Each structure stands twice: as structure tokens, then as C-alpha cells.
Structure 1
Amino acid sequence: MDTATSRPTSAVELHADVVDAGILFLRIVFGGLLTAAGLQKLFGWFGGQGLTATGAMFADLGYRPGMFFAAVAGTLEAVGGTLLLLGLFTPLACAIVLGVMINAASVTWSGGLFGPTGYQMALLYATAAVAIACTGAGRLALDTGRAWHREGAAWAAASIGLGVASAVGVLLLKTVL
């Protein structure tokens, strides 16, 4: 990087800047949509149903008590989405999102991949969470330069493992409640 002009001086630096911009764009759109989905569940914002109706839907899907599981899902979506949008505590944010999306895929599995009740969106969101866990949040993130900044293969594996383990835990809890 040419410090006098703050411009990339090589093709590698330019490529890194473009990659960071792409990851930032992904995080903003993905995190923003996920945050909005959580707020739809919790408060009925952005055309959502709100907690009471979402709780009834969760109960119909076998998540009982429905209001509890709807509140947990909405909160996790809002928190995980916001953390991703900001690039803050990124491995934890990815684990949160992956866990929620595995549960979403499990209840929509019978609808097939495509269609109005399919698991296409849950798979897409889970894939984005895994991709960000693997790449990190990029240099344009609040994690960058902080003592808690974590990325790399070990953190990606831990993030994915925690997301899968938490999803399995919730699915097991669902069967006993």
C-alpha cells in the first residue's frame, strides 16, 4: 500500500481490497436481511407476524412452547444478523446463524429444496454463514485489529462445529418438550 496516497500499489493489494469490499457487501445484505427476519418474528416489524403469531406457528411445527422457541429464534436471528452486519464477534455470529438455519431447514425439509415451503432459503443462509466463517469478516469489520479478532481454519471449524452442535441440541430439546 502506498501510504502517501493510501492506494493499493500491487495487483495483490488491489485484489485484497476488492475481496474485503465483497465480503463487506455480503455481510451488510445478509446480516441486514437476517436481522430484519428476527425483528419480524419478535415485533412484527417489516411486515412480520410478531411474537404471538410466530409462536403459534412454531408450536404447529413441533417447537413447544411455541412462544419460547419463537422468541429464541427471533432473538438469535436479530443478534446474529446484527453481529454479521457489523463484522463483530464473527465466528460466534456465524455459529448462531448456522444453528438457527439448520433448525429452519429441518422443519422445511419435507417441502423439498424449492417451492413455497422448501428449505432453499435456510440452506442459502446457512451457506453464507459457513462462507463467512471460513473467510472471516474481512478488514472492513469491527473485529479487525481488536484483541478478540479471530479467524482462520481453526476458528472456522470451531464456529461451524458450535453451530451444528447447538442446532442438534435444540432439535433434541424439541423432541423432549
Structure 2
Amino acid sequence: MTAFCALPSRAPRGPATRSAAGTFERDRLPDPASYFESQGFPLKGPGLWRTTRCDFHGGSDSLRINTRSGGWCCMACGAKGGDVLAFHMQHHGLNFYEAAKALDCWSGDAPQRPRGPADLSDRDRLELVAWELQIAWVILGDTRRWPPQTDPDYLRFVQAVGRVQRLVQRGAA
């Protein structure tokens, strides 16, 4: 049986992606089969595409892994990504830099960030939290309807939750 998952082409291709502060070394990504096994996802079956459980929706034997590229796709919930880095980001809730650093694929300094929530006044921070929670509320409300949410909606929800968490952490510091 062949898995048909559209793998996103957003990830940069080639050996390295450079920024002013550091370099992402794609060739240092771990071997996909070894990575998933080390993360507690035993791969089943022969061939290029292997099967394991999906922690994104709690299903068993629905996540398909391409052992050459690291691409992955859940046949039940639709979670997908193009490589090990995309899985590590989504599974652990990390941004690109954090995931690349955790996988030892980033050399150099962290990328410079533009003005962010840390520079906001308390009132502006609360308004931003209210806005992000409103977006999250709308997306959660829409999950009760059919058809299921699109990838951009889900990614916007994850982004909103992450921003609220960062604002709370910075506000508590």
C-alpha cells in the first residue's frame, strides 16, 4: 500500500540555510528511522513508508513515516510535515530555531528577533492576549462543524496559543 501525503514544500532545501546570525545545516538532521525510534515511535512494516502511532490525535498505527526524507502524514487526523525538523517542531511545540538547535542542526548565534511582545506595555500585552484568545476561541468553535479545519487555520491556532504562552511567561518574569 502506498501512502499519498502531500508534503509541504515550505522547508528550505539544500545543505544549509543561512541567516545573519547563524546557519541551519540540513545535512545534520538525524536519520529519519533512527530519530522516530529514539523518540519512542516504533516503526512497523517494510519499505520506504513505515507506520507508527500518532500522538497528535492519540491514534495507533495511523502515522506514516517516509524513512528516506523524514516526511510524515497521519492518515486519520491529517497532521503532516516534510521532514524530521517539522515533526520535532510540531510534536514539541518549538519554533524553527529551537527545533534546529535541539536537533544539533544550527550553528552560530540565534536569529535576531524584531520588536515583540516583550517590548509592549502592560495594556498592549493584555489587548494582544485578548485578540489571540479570540482567534483561538473562533477556531475551536469551528472544529465542531464540518468540514474539519484547514492547515492554515490549525497553524494559526497553534501560533495564537504559543504567543499567549510567551506573553504569560514574559509577564511573570
| Bin of the TM-score, shorter chain as denominator length | under 0.3
Q: Which has the higher strand share?
A: 2
Q: Which has the higher helix share?
A: 1
